[in-house]
Every structure is written in C-alpha cells, then in structure tokens.
C-alpha cells in the first residue's frame, strides 16, 4: 500500500519538493504500478544470478591526462556563477547547526 | 526534388557523382521542414545546413573523396548532445541548454559528411510511448494526425515518415526506436547493447539505453549504423568487437535461415489486423526460403514489470544530476536542499516525477530485495529464454507493437496502460539483443504495421538480411501529408 507519507518520504530521498496538490495523484499512480510489479514475486528465481547488463566487463580507457572542458566552458551553462565557481545559497551554516 | 523521397544510398550516390549538390539538398530539406512540420511538430529546433553543404560541394569540386553519408540529411533525437545547438531531451529542465560538446554519434555523422537539419521531438527524458510526455507539445503521426507517432523517438520517426529527412537517430531503452518506426512505417534499428557509443546521450537507464538509426529503407539504416557503430574509449560499455559491414549484410541470401515465432507475442492482446499483417509477412519470408518454427519465451509476460522496476531505478540515479546548480533550470531558494527540490519539481514533468519516485522506492531500504534485486533475477530468466530459443533458430519474428498507432490522449490518463504499450519491445531490451522494426502490410485503414526481428547478440547482420528480404515484399512508402 502506497500512502501519502511514503510518497513524501521517497520524494525527500529523491530531492524532489512536490507541490501539495501533486502528492495524492502520484500516490494513486504509484499504488497501481506497484500492485502490477508485485507479480514478480510469483516468479521462481531460486539460484538465479542477478543480471546487470550484457557487457559484463567495462573496457576503461587508459588513465592518461588529456584536455577536457575549459573552466569557462564548464561554467557557461550554470544558471549562476561567482568568482569562477558555481553559485549556491549558503549551506555551511546549516551543516554546522546540524552537527552541534 | 524527388530525391528526398528516396533512400540514403541514392542521395549519397547522387551527391558523390555530382548529380545534385549538397547545397540543393540542404535548401530542399529546410523548405520541406518549414512547410510540413508546422502541423506535425517533429522538430524542436532546426539548424542551418548551408555552410556545411557548401563545404561538401567545394570538396567534391576539388576531387576529394566524400564520406559515405555525404549530403544526406540526418535528424537527431533531442537527447543527443550537439555542440553549439540546443539539447532539451524534451524537458523544460533543459530549456535553453547548449552542450559544450558533440555526442560521439554526432561527431561520426559529421565526419561522414552528413547534413544535420535539427533536433527531434521526444517524450521528456525518453520516458514515454507516445511523444505526449514532451514538455514542448506532442508530435503527430503523419499517417493520421489524430494519432501518436509512438515514442519516445516519435519526432525522429515522423521526420523520416513525412520525408522531411531521409534518416534520423533515435535512442531505444525499451522500444523507443522500434515502436515509433512501426507506427509511422519506417525502418528502426535497436542495435546490440554496447554496439553504439552513448557518450553524449542524455542518460535514462544505463543498462538498457542504446542509440540506433531510423531510415526510409533497410540499406539506409544499415549504412547509418555502419558509420555510428564501434568502440569508443569514452563509453566503457561500448563493444570492442569490430562491426561487420551491415550494408553488405542487406544483400545476404536468407534461404535456409531459421525463424522462430514465439507464441507469447501472439496472445489475446494482439490487434487482429496487426496479427494478420505480421503473419503474412512471416509467410512471405518462408516463401523466400526461410524455415519457420514455433518457439517458447515463457518469461515474456514478466518483461513489463521487470523493465519498469529496473529502468526507473536507473533513471532515479541518472536524473540525480539535474540539481539546478551546474546547468538547466534553477528555482529561487534560500537554502541548498530546497534549491535542488524546487528546481527539480519545476523542471520535471509528471511522468518523470512518477518514474523517479518509483525508482527511488524500489532502491530504498526495505524494498531493494523484493523489487530491484528480484527484477534483476527475472531479467536473467528473460535473457535465458532467448539464449535457449537461439539454440534452435537464427532470428525471432513477432509484432513490434500489439496495436497500430493509437489515438492522441487515449492512454495519457493511465500510466500503466501506457506501459503496457511496450510489451513486444521490452524483452529484447532487457536481454540486450539487437532488434529491427521493418514495415509490413498496413492495416485495412492504411495504418502502418511493423514486423519485429530479434537476433542473437552482435548479430545485427542476420536481421538486416531478413529485413531487406521483407522490404522487397513491402517497398518503402512515404506517409500521406496534408501539405506538399
């Protein structure tokens, strides 16, 4: 059963601030979808190894330095930047407060 | 110009032999898009091609050898990053976003001298089966404008079907190339997982995502795949094996090939007209010397549930990058956590939120084993079904979609009904296998139907041979368009 509180909890985990009028509709949708996917519990998977993807080994490129984006390119799409960095609201004080 | 109604091969040949200039193709393509796309909305943005076209013509005049796609217009799904050109992935979150680099497939198309007319409409972040989840309004089906072109690569499919471009790239996570190809009467190819580099593709579900071509004909799709396939050091999951020549594979003899027809794809949910069209197409392959036999893929019925657990879990992780700080939409907020939360709430549409929530739920403590881990195990069983079938047959033939194109608005109010649209395409995605949708006989109401051919991993070549044989029975046909 998907409750309103569960949706709000999961939304918090997903960093998604839902508007109040969205929550009930999403809870209803999710309840229906979860009820559908519950059919998986009926499948016998005793001894089956979980599948992740077909290419089991990823081929990493050589770890050698190469030019990437320039500082300006990396910042070009930022909604706000200050002194060559991404600008965000203050958060350090909140962290200090949490720890104390 | 009739050439735009033809094939990739004919167009590239005409440019290379000087029968037509790239500049003329660019001009004709641009004017076709202007005239035809007003009603259809296949493109989210267009690019001027004249400079690139002029360069191609000048190089030809100097006697230089041109690339295999010289002068061929190829539209790009808007999930592919293009340097200096907007890339939205159909989302308001990325409205105005200009990537600083080209996706590998885009670089490869440029290197092959293709012309790139623009970026095509899609469901937001490729989440949808009808294009109706685009934040910029739906694309319409050129065969019947009251119907969807399918999704999520609906814009790419419509652009090809209405001959605004000769080919396009799409991406396919659970059927997003094949289903729209089927709904619009074009050829759509989902290559083997890893065949094509995904560097620069806006990620949806990384164990499933794959880029592939849509084209007016089979050989054209094969030539585009020949250009974009191959290992890329920038995508660690891309295959290291060299690709065979897919265009040459289209000429292969299909006599003696064994085709499996799975009972599970021909159940009660299958539209009667689609059933007939697909059965007639399979019979046509039989008369061309293929051996047809029944196969069983018993875990097919669990594919939808498996897919929607795995794909949403991966999406919830991939979409964590949209935080409103480095690029994309930013909401006003006084603290960092609400900056994330509000930016994401304002930037994402309803279906994207639904999937992020479902994906986060199935990965969360207390649910992980019962949902995510369970789905990964069922996924192994879906893949094993195919492995067993391919011990007996060389390819599997079935419908691409259980219905022809459905009406706009028909499934938007019920997310689950929309998910069920993907029943025929999801299993091959889960197993990482290559699959092609090729047009077969239309319904009595003249709506396109797609035959889906699924192959062994890395064996697209057999699929191209079979699809080309099918195409000889059902030659490519442009969609009717209201305006010339």
pLDDT (tens digit per residue) in B315-374: 999 999 999 999 999 999 999 999 999 999 999 999 999 999 999 999 999 999 999 999
- Kindly indicate the confidence band of residue A1, based on its pLDDT and cuts at 50, 70 and 90: confident
Rg value, chain B, Cα: 21
Q: Give the active site residue among B7, B68, B134, B152.
A: B152
What angle (nearest 5°) sits at the alpha carbon of residue B199, between those of residues B236 and B185?
115
Does B69 have pLDDT greater than 80?
yes
Six-digit token string for B148? 């969807």
| B97 closest CB neighbour out of A50, A77, A88 | A77
**Residue-level pLDDT at B147:** 98
Q: How far apart are CA B109 and CA B103, in angstroms?
A: 10
Does the beta-carbon distance from A45 to B338 stay under 8 Å?
no
- The phi-psi region of residue B76 (left if phi > 0; otherwise alpha if psi is between -120 and 50; otherwise beta) is beta
Does A11 have pLDDT greater than 60?
yes
Q: Which chain B residues touch A8 with a CB distance below 8 Å? A: none
Does B390 have pLDDT greater than 60?
yes
Q: Give the active site residue among B171, B176, B343, B401.
A: B176
- Kindly indicate the confidence band of residue B4, based on its pLDDT and cuts at 50, 70 and 90: confident
Q: How far apart are CA B93 and CA B79, in angstroms?
A: 13
What angle (nearest 5°) sits at the alpha carbon of residue B281, between those of residues B275 and B283?
100
ipTM: 0.91
Per-residue pLDDT averaged across B43-48, rounded?
97
Six-digit token string for A15? 């960093």
Per-residue pLDDT averaged across B124-133, rounded?
97
Contact B115, B25 (CB under 8 A): yes
Q: Give the active site residue among B68, B77, B134, B153.
A: B77
**Residue-level pLDDT at A94:** 58
Q: How far apart are CA B330 and CA B316, in angstroms?
A: 19
B89 in A contact zone (CB under 8 Å)? no
Mean pLDDT for all residues in chain B: 96
DSSP-assigned beta bridge partners for residue A82: A85
Does the beta-carbon distance from B324 to A79 stay under 8 Å?
yes
Query: Which of A33, A64, A73, A87 would best serve as a mutation to test chain B binding (most B beta carbons within 10 A)?
Result: A33
- Kindly indicate the confidence band of residue B416, based on its pLDDT and cuts at 50, 70 and 90: confident
Residue whose tokens read 């799709």? B221
Query: Which of B302, B310, B357 would best serve as a mutation to test chain A binding (most A beta carbons within 10 A)?
Result: B357
Does A99 have pLDDT greater than 70?
no
Q: What strands, in cross-sheet order, belong to the sheet with B43-46?
A: B43-46, B118-120, B74-77, B167-172, B210-215, B187-190, B435-439, B450-455, B395-399, B258-262, B291-295
**Residue-level pLDDT at B484:** 43
Does B225 have pLDDT greater than 60?
yes
Per-residue pLDDT averaged across A49-64, rounded?
81
Q: How far apart are CA B427 and CA B449, in angstroms?
A: 19
**Residue-level pLDDT at B107:** 98
Residue whose tokens read 């001027």? B48
**Residue-level pLDDT at B420:** 87
Per-residue pLDDT averaged across B132-157, rounded?
98
Instruction: Say what percent of chain B tops pLDDT 70.
Output: 99
Residue B158 phi/psi, 5-degree rounding, is -65, -40
Q: Please name the residues between 152 and 171 in chain B that touch chain A, using a CB distance below 8 Å.
A: none
Rg value, chain A, Cα: 22
Q: How far apart are CA B123 and CA B140, in angstroms?
A: 12
A88 in B contact zone (CB under 8 Å)? yes
Does B210 have pLDDT greater than 70?
yes
**Residue-level pLDDT at A52:** 83
Q: Per residue in B148-180, pLDDT tens?
A: 999 999 999 999 999 999 999 999 999 999 999
Helix (H) or strand (E) holding A8: helix A4-13
**Residue-level pLDDT at B352:** 98
């Amino acid at each position: 059963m998907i409750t309103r509180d569960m949706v709000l909890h999961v939304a918090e985990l997903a960093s998604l601030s839902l508007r109040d009028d969205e929550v009930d509709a999403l809870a209803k949708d999710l309840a229906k979808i979860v009820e559908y996917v519950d059919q998986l519990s009926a499948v016998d998977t005793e001894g089956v190894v979980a599948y992740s993807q077909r290419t089991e080994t990823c081929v990493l490129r050589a770890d050698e330095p190469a030019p990437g984006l320039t500082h300006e390119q990396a910042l070009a799409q930022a909604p706000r930047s200050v002194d060559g960095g991404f600008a965000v609201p203050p958060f350090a004080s909140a962290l200090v407060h949490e720890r104390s | 110009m009739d050439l735009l109604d033809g094939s990739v091969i004919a167009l590239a040949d005409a440019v290379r032999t000087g029968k037509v200039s790239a500049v003329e193709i660019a001009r004709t393509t641009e004017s076709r898009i202007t005239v035809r796309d007003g009603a259809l909305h296949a493109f989210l943005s267009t690019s001027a091609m004249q400079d690139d076209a002029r360069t191609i013509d000048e190089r030809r005049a100097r006697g230089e050898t041109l690339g295999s796609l010289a002068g061929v217009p190829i539209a790009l799904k808007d999930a592919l990053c293009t340097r200096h050109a907007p890339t939205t992935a159909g989302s308001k979150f990325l409205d105005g976003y200009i990537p600083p680099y080209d996706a590998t497939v885009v670089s490869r198309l440029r290197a092959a001298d293709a012309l790139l007319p623009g970026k095509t409409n899609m469901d937001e972040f490729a989440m949808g089966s009808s294009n109706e989840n685009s934040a910029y309004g739906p694309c319409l089906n050129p065969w019947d404008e009251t119907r969807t072109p399918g999704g999520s690569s609906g814009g790419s499919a419509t652009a090809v079907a209405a001959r605004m471009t000769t080919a396009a790239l799409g991406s396919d996570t659970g059927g997003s190339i094949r289903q729209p190809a089927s709904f619009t009467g074009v050829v759509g190819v989902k290559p083997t997982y890893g065949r094509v580099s995904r560097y620069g593709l806006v990620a949806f579900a990384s164990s499933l995502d794959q880029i592939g071509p849509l084209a007016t004909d089979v050989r054209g799709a094969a030539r585009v795949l020949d250009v974009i396939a191959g290992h890329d050091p920038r995508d660690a999951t891309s295959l290291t094996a060299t690709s065979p020549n897919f265009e040459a594979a289209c000429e292969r003899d299909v006599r003696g090939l064994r085709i499996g027809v799975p009972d599970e794809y021909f159940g009660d949910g299958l539209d009667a007209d689609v059933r007939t069209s697909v059965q007639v197409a399979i019979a046509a392959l039989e008369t061309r010397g293929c051996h047809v036999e029944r196969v069983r893929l018993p875990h097919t019925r669990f594919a939808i549930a498996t897919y929607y657990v795995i794909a949403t879990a991966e999406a919830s992780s991939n979409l964590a990058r949209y935080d409103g700080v480095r690029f994309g939409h930013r909401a006003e907020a006084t603290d960092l956590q609400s900056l994330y939360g509000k930016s994401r709430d304002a930037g994402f549409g309803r279906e994207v939120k639904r999937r992020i929530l479902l994906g986060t739920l199935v990965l969360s403590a207390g649910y992980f084993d019962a949902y995510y881990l369970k789905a990964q195990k069922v996924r192994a069983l879906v893949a094993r079904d195919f492995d067993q079938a391919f011990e007996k047959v060389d390819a599997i033939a079935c419908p691409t979609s259980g219905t022809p194109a459905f009406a706009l608005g028909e499934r938007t109010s019920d997310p689950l009904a929309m998910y069920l649209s993907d029943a025929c395409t999801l299993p091959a995605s889960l197993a990482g296998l290559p699959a092609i949708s090729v047009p077969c006989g239309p319904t009595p109401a003249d709506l396109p139907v797609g035959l889906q051919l699924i192959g062994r991993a890395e064996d697209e070549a057999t699929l191209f041979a079979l699809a080309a044989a099918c195409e000889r029975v059902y030659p490519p046909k442009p969609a009717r368009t209201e305006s010339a």
